[in-house]
Amino acid sequence: MRRTLLLAAVIITALLLQTTVFAELNLLGAKPELLYLVTIVFAILEGPASGAIAGFAGGMAQDFLLDAPKGITALTLTLLGYAMGMARQYIVTPSPILPVFLVAGGTFAGVVFHGVVSFLLGELDTSWLYLFRVALLSALYNAILTPLVYPILRRAAEGSRSRRVLRW
Amino acid sequence: MALRSRARSTRLLVVTLVSISLVTITVDYRQGDDGPLSALGDAALTVISPLQDAVSTFTHPIGNFFSTLFRLPSIRRENETLRDRVAALEQEVATTAADLDRLAELEALLGLQASLGRRAETTAAQVIANGVSNFEWTITIDKGSADGVEEDMPVIANAGLVGHVLQVGPSSSVIRLIIDPDSFVAGRLDASRATGLLSGEGGADLRMGLVESTVEVALDERVVTSGYRIQGVAQSLYPPNILIGTVSRVLPEESALETFVTVRPAVDFSTLDLVLVVLSSDGGA
């Protein structure tokens, strides 16, 4: 229950920030993708199931709020959350900057996937070069934001987790 | 064991979520902008937009600040472009205003030329320099012998008499103004028809002498050129009936024989721009 509330709070906060602060913060033609960032961080912290749920919820929320083809972001983020959660399980490294790399790679892959799906649906009318550029820049911005967001979400997630459940 | 079943349930969850997403995509794709999903989206937007407003109020300046920071180079370029543009436009405005002034002056000169008589030939000239000396009141114009200008030709402006040609170059001429102390103009009081001789006083008003003491001179009376002509002997430089100025002061009699009058020139010599050189006139009607 607490985790559902936490998830909702995080997603709404991310959405609000995404549509206000970061909507204006358009650097070199791209902006950070906060929902991607939050999904990946959740997946890293909580595993593939939580990652998929967070991604699905965040993606749906974003799809319905922004005037975009609905479902594409949800699909992307569901898969992204799951994939990142799985990836995290197989990577064994104590490196504290692992989340940064996962976020960067995940965001890039996610944005490109989103672009491909949009393209298949005939909703994308930019060049591939532009898509890759946006994906790279979004990945970079998200990676920069990770050291800020990751500790906050980790603390929140740990606070909301019931003590008896072992961490993955 | 527990781990495996957990993995399976996770996979099931993901498949379910992906399926829902795909259904959503399909439904939305088929329904376009009119379907219930769109309505749902609009509803969500209605709920969240007040929140967005509230957040924006706080974060707008911050976001602005950062995007401004990153766009500084382009803003600077834009600034330069705009400055250039402003300079160009200001230049244009100034030119336009000057052109309008010029037009008005030319129109006035045209009227003046018509008043000189049908046979009068004139040429318009631009004042290109003022006199260099403190003791000579002259101007230089951009017309010279190539344009038919000769010495002693009268020069007028739209307001009235300016002076006469003192010196002619190939493409420029020096004009002695009527306010030059060496300039003498035969003038006539408009109302009383009495004649006199106007001499320049430099910066001060013209001085009109040789007016008979019996003549009643009124203030603000107009003084025009008299344009005398003694056949074969002498002829005034100036065509008749060109406005010189208005009486500004009637001096106390210095002798019983003549009255001294000061005349304020009609032409403002400090702002002279376009003048008309009278090449030939019919010498007085």
Residue B179 has pLDDT above 60, yes or no: yes
Residue A168 has pLDDT above 60, yes or no: no
Residue B58 has pLDDT above 90, yes or no: no
Which pLDDT value is given to residue B285? 37
Residue A71 has pLDDT above 80, yes or no: yes
Segment A127-138 mean pLDDT = 87
Segment B169-176 mean pLDDT = 87
Segment B3-27 mean pLDDT = 83
Q: Which ranges of chain A does DSSP label H, i.e. alpha helix?
A: 2-19, 21-24, 34-46, 48-65, 72-90, 98-120, 128-160
> Which residues pair with residue B223 across a beta bridge?
B189, B245
Residue A47 has pLDDT above 90, yes or no: no
Q: Cβ of A70 and B23 within 8 Å?
A: no
Interface test with A, best of B8, B13, B14, B75 (most A CBs within 10 A): B14
Which pLDDT value is given to residue A125? 72
Better-predicted residue by pLDDT, A57 or A122: A57
- Least Cα distance to A42 among A16, A12, A77 occurs for A77
Q: Cβ of B48 and A16 within 8 Å?
A: yes
Structure token pair of residue B226 = 């008299």
Which pLDDT value is given to residue A109? 93
Q: What is the ipTM of this complex?
A: 0.80
Q: Cβ of B44 and A20 within 8 Å?
A: no
Residue ranges of chain A whose CB lies within 8 Å of a chain B CB: 12, 15-17, 19-28, 47-49, 52-53, 55-56, 59-61, 63-65, 67, 69-72, 74-75, 78-79, 82, 117, 121
Which pLDDT value is given to residue B284? 43
- In angstroms, the separation between the Cα of residue B91 and the nearest Cα of chain A is 36
Q: Which percentage of chain B shows pLDDT scores above 70?
A: 85
E strand segments, chain B: 121-130, 138-141, 154-156, 161-168, 173-177, 184-189, 195-199, 206-212, 222-225, 229-230, 234-235, 243-250, 258-265, 274-280
pLDDT band at B137 (very low <50, low <70, confident <90, very high): confident
- When mean pLDDT is compared across A59-73, B80-94, B164-178, the lowest value belongs to A59-73
Residues of B in contact with A78 (CB under 8 A): 14, 17-18, 21
Residue B282 has pLDDT above 60, yes or no: no
Residue A148 has pLDDT above 90, yes or no: no
A52, B17 in Cβ contact below 8 A? yes
Reported as a single tens digit per residue, the pLDDT across A102-112 is 899 999 999 99
Which pLDDT value is given to residue B281? 62
Residue B118 has pLDDT above 80, yes or no: no
Which pLDDT value is given to residue B63? 66
Which pLDDT value is given to residue B204? 80
Segment B54-63 mean pLDDT = 72
Residue B148 has pLDDT above 90, yes or no: no
- When mean pLDDT is compared across A38-42, A136-140, B114-118, B277-281, the lowest value belongs to B114-118
Structure token pair of residue B109 = 């000169």
Q: Cβ of B60 and A70 within 8 Å?
A: no
What mean pLDDT, rounded, does chain B reach?
80
For tokens 């030059």, name the residue: B180
pLDDT band at A78 (very low <50, low <70, confident <90, very high): very high
Reported as a single tens digit per residue, the pLDDT across B194-225 is 888 888 887 788 888 877 777 778 888 888 88
Which pLDDT value is given to residue A162? 58
Q: Cβ of B44 and A61 within 8 Å?
A: yes
Better-predicted residue by pLDDT, A21 or B281: A21
Chain A / chain B CB contacts < 8 angstroms: 105
Which pLDDT value is given to residue B239? 81
pLDDT band at A26 (very low <50, low <70, confident <90, very high): low
> Which residues pair with residue B130 across a beta bridge?
B139
Segment B81-85 mean pLDDT = 91
Better-predicted residue by pLDDT, A15 or B255: A15
pTM (2 decimals)? 0.51
Distance in angstroms (rounded) separating the CA atoms of residues B47 and B54: 12
B24, A96 in Cβ contact below 8 A? no
